[in-house]
Structure 1
Amino acid sequence: MGLLVPLFSLQSSGTAVAVSPAQIVPFDNRPIKVTTVMKPRLFVLQMPFSDPDLVPPPSSDSWFCSHCALIEGALGINPQWLDHIEVKRLAFPRPRRELVELLGEEQQWLPVLVLPQEDGKKNETLTDPVAITRYLAEKFGGAAPHP
């Protein structure tokens, strides 16, 4: 899903009405090209979660993903990143349909940052949490992981 910038038309009554890019007609009637800018999509696990194949330690009743927890911590100290990326928190059980549709059956590892496609190219992804947070800091500012 792309980022849509709201456009408004001011009516003679003084009210603003939202319009879609398809409704925009330039004054000289030349066709205009509207492009949609995609945001990077970050997928992490919803936490805590249960794993039916593993029994948690006696003092616990659930699990968390250490890689996803690192990402969530970085998002917590860099809230401005949320203005530039789309975050999806997925349930633990597989198949993770949204990822399968986007990346294929074999690529359901989380966390994963899916970078915007360029002209029909294959989706580029980052799965290492340090690489993901480094990319986000370089691209959108804020605190970066210490080397």
Structure 2
Amino acid sequence: MTDRLFLINPHWTDDLGGPWYCPSGAVIEGLLAFYPALRTQLDITRLDFPRPRRPVIDLVGEDHQSCPILVLDGEFDWPDAPTSEATGRRFLQDAAIIPYLAARYGIGLPHP
């Protein structure tokens, strides 16, 4: 398995109005634009906003279906990654994804 990245498609509406986009997902989309090689190194799936998000649930369980989420393939040791109680898979969400991508795939980190 390859590291699997799940992002939310932009431009959705909900009971609060909209159209909306996911701010954390926009940062990851920016990284994919800065480092296009990531697109071929990761298995990327874009999902619609409404829950349940079945592809994510199948990998890490219902409690962890917020996106962006990176489900790790287990080939690269990353002690900071939590483990799903439901499936035993390790994953990262939101800003925690960036340091992993930098360490594993050699992209830059945000300036402090």
Scaled to the shorter chain, the TM-score interval is 0.7 to 0.9
Q: What is aligned with 1:19?
A: none
Q: What is aligned with 1:54?
A: 16
Matched, 1:122 2:88: yes
Alignment of 1:1-147 (within 5 A): 38-51=1-14, 53-56=15-18, 62-117=19-74, 122-129=88-95, 131-147=96-112
Gaps in structure 1 of 5+ consecutive residues? 1-37, 57-61
Is contact 1:45–1:92 with CA below 8 Å preserved after alignment?
Answer: yes
Code of the residue aligned with 1:146 in structure 2: it is H
**Aligned length in residues:** 101
Could you say which structure has the higher helix fraction? 2
**Shift >4 Å, 4+ stretches:** none
With normalisation by structure 1, the TM-score equals: 0.63
Root-mean-square deviation over aligned CA pairs: 1.6
**Distance in 2 of aligned mates of 1:143 and 1:77:** 9
Is contact 1:43–1:113 with CA below 8 Å preserved after alignment?
Answer: yes
Is contact 1:134–1:145 with CA below 8 Å preserved after alignment?
Answer: no
**Distance in 1 of aligned mates of 2:39 and 2:61:** 26
Code of the residue aligned with 2:3 in structure 1: it is P
Query: 3-state SS of the aligned residue for 1:39?
Result: coil
Code of the residue aligned with 1:68 in structure 2: it is G
**Distance in 2 of aligned mates of 1:41 and 1:114:** 5
Query: 3-state SS of the aligned residue for 2:21?
Result: coil
Code of the residue aligned with 2:106 in structure 1: it is G
Code of the residue aligned with 1:80 in structure 2: it is A
Is contact 2:25–2:94 with CA below 8 Å preserved after alignment?
Answer: no
Per-residue deviation at 1:78?
A: 0.7
